[in-house]
């Protein structure tokens, strides 16, 4: 059974259709990278799955549970974490307070152990205001916060945007480790093609709200096939 199954999903904003009849499935422990130029519906896909946008047509199921009409907080209760493109942190609250608001586990120390395994520097910044972290550090806190919840499915939106190569390499290692240690499944929206192909098992290109092509990252011509859709 797929951990995430999206079937003929259409959605958009204020009656304007952005996603058009999108279907995809992700197996447990699999990472699917969704690629495409700006404005093609990638972020809309994640927001629709998470319940932030209403579905016009189609269905969403998570581990076999119907999630099409669920509000975001109820989707989260099905074991879904959302790493938004925007820096969705409480800027005036500390790193620790941001983590505590997200973690539902009764044992916060266990959650901190998960954070330490992925981003040990954050344990030295627990009392620091989140808004004073660098842009890259805030991105890492967003990822750490989702991983600390123990989510079985992560929806990750443009996590590498604006980051230095060394930070991107670090995030790639964290994503691989999360999958190896916990079997974490991910729907990864990305613009950074080398990063996406390095961490994902499969890729799909969105073009004008529709899936134009899919493939396995292990295929030798994957990069060329994706680039033909990204070229102007």
What CATH code is carried by the domain that includes residue 36?
3.40.50.300
Q: Residue 175: its pLDDT value, please?
A: 94
Q: Is the pTM of this model over 0.85?
A: yes
Domain range for residue 105? Answer: 29-51+80-230
pLDDT at 148 (0 to 100)? 87
177 part of a folded domain: yes
133 — phi, psi (to 5°)? -70, 155
Q: Is residue 206 part of a domain?
A: yes
The answer to whether residue 210 sits within a structural domain is yes
The sign one gets for the Cα dihedral 203, 66, 157, 21 is positive
Indicate whether 19 belongs to any domain: no
Question: Number of folded domains in the chain?
Answer: 1
Half-sphere exposure of 197 (CA within 13 A, CB side): 17
Percent of all residues in the chain with a pLDDT value above 70, rounded to a whole number? 98
C-alpha to C-alpha distance for 178 and 194, rounded to whole angstroms? 19
User: Considering the domain boundaries, does residue 56 fall inside one?
Assistant: no
Question: Residues 118-169: pLDDT tens digits?
Answer: 899 999 999 999 999 988 889 899 999 988 888 999 999 999 988 889 889 9
């Amino acid at each position: 059974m797929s951990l995430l199954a999206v079937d003929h999903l259409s959605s958009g904003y204020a009656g304007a259709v952005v996603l058009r009849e999108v279907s995809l499935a992700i197996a447990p422990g699999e990472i699917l990278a969704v690629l495409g130029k700006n404005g093609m519906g990638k972020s809309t896909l994640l927001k629709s799955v998470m319940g932030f946008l209403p579905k016009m047509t189609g269905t969403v199921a998570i581990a076999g549970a119907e999630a099409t009409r669920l509000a975001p907080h109820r989707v989260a209760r099905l074991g879904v974490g959302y790493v938004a493109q925007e820096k969705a942190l409480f800027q005036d609250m500390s790193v620790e307070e941001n983590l505590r608001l997200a973690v539902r586990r009764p044992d916060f120390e266990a959650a901190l152990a998960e954070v330490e395994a992925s981003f040990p520097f954050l344990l030295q910044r627990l009392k620091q205001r989140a808004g004073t972290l660098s842009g890259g550090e805030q991105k890492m806190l967003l990822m750490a916060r989702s991983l600390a919840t123990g989510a079985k499915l992560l929806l990750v939106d443009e996590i590498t945007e604006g980051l230095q190569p060394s930070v991107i390499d670090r995030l790639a290692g964290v994503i691989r480790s999360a999958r190896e240690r916990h079997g974490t499944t991910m729907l990864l929206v990305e613009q950074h093609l080398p990063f996406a192909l390095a961490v994902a098992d499969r890729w799909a290109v969105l073009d004008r709200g529709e899936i134009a092509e899919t493939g396995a990252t292990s295929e030798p011509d994957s990069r060329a096939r994706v680039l033909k859709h990204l070229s102007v």
